[in-house]
Amino acid sequence: MAWTVPRTWVPGELVTASMMNTQIRDNLTYLFSARGSCMLYASSLLFAPVDSTTYYAGHPQTSSVQTAADLSRVYVPATGTINAAYLSIVVEGTIGSTETSSAWIRKNNTSDTLISSSVQANQAAQYYSLVPNLSVTAGDSLQLKWTTPAWATNPTNVRMALQLALQASG
């Protein structure tokens, strides 16, 4: 179903059921059917990551970072494709040493799509992006997964955030 440009109503015009269905019902169905694109977000509160540990972050309202998978999830509202991923690692405390680590998009607690294998926490802010073309189905769950290195100097007061661009199909 496509969007119909709203008509200009004329005073005294007889409004039919067909007109209302096209102008109101069909346009509202289009707007609320999750067509088009939207952004999904996963994030964490500030935390002090430890060596060689896997962390998971999900829904921003339950944003305490977890070491157990599948406790905090972002649910996909429509079937489509994740066509962009933007990861930020922000260090508000001690800057970490230069060891690299990896971050993934975790889907349904079963499969991982690599965002970057060169994630570092050795600056106040680091940004990574990816075009994953990850197919998703309405109801799938997503998380940010980050496995830390064995640092010489551990960062403190770290915040992670992941933005995912969903292009809905249909």
Whether residue 72 sits in one domain with residue 4: no
Least confident of 29-33, 75-79, 96-100, 127-131: 29-33
| Alpha-carbon gap, residue 143 to 58, rounded angstroms | 5
Shared domain check, 135 and 52: yes
Do 15 and 44 sit in the same domain of this protein? no
CA–CA gap between residue 90 and residue 88 (Å, rounded): 6
Task: Answer yes or no: do 86 and 148 share one domain.
Answer: yes
40 in the same domain as 26: no
Domain of 136: which CATH number?
2.60.120.260
Q: Identify whether residues 163 and 107 lie together within a single domain.
A: yes
Q: 63 pLDDT exceeds 90?
A: no
On whether both 24 and 56 belong to a single domain, the answer is: no
pLDDT at 69 (0 to 100): 87
Instruction: Please give the residue range of the domain that contains residue 99.
Output: 36-168
Are residues 73 and 88 located together in one domain of the fold? yes
pTM, two decimal places: 0.78
Give the pLDDT confidence score for residue 88 in this predicted structure. 95
Task: Give the pLDDT confidence of 29-49 residue by residue, as tens digits.
Answer: 766 665 578 889 999 989 999
Q: What is residue 30's predicted lDDT score, i.e. its pLDDT?
A: 66
Per-residue pLDDT at 164: 94
Backbone angles phi, psi at 23, to 5 degrees: -75, -35
Is the pLDDT at 16 greater than 90? The verdict is no
131 plus 61 within the same structural domain: yes
Report whether pLDDT(1) > 80: no
46 and 1 housed in the same domain: no
Residues 21 and 91 in one domain: no
Q: Say how far apart CA 69 and CA 16 lie, in whole Å.
A: 54
What percent of the chain shows pLDDT beyond 90? 59
Q: Are residues 148 and 95 in the same domain?
A: yes
From residue 22, give the alpha-carbon distance in Å to each of 28, 44, 169. 9, 43, 22
Average pLDDT over residues 97-116: 96
Structural domains counted in the chain: 2
In this predicted structure, the answer to whether residue 78 has a pLDDT above a threshold of 90 is no
In this structure, the strands spanning 158-168 and 80-91 are antiparallel
Residue 108 has pLDDT above 90, yes or no: yes
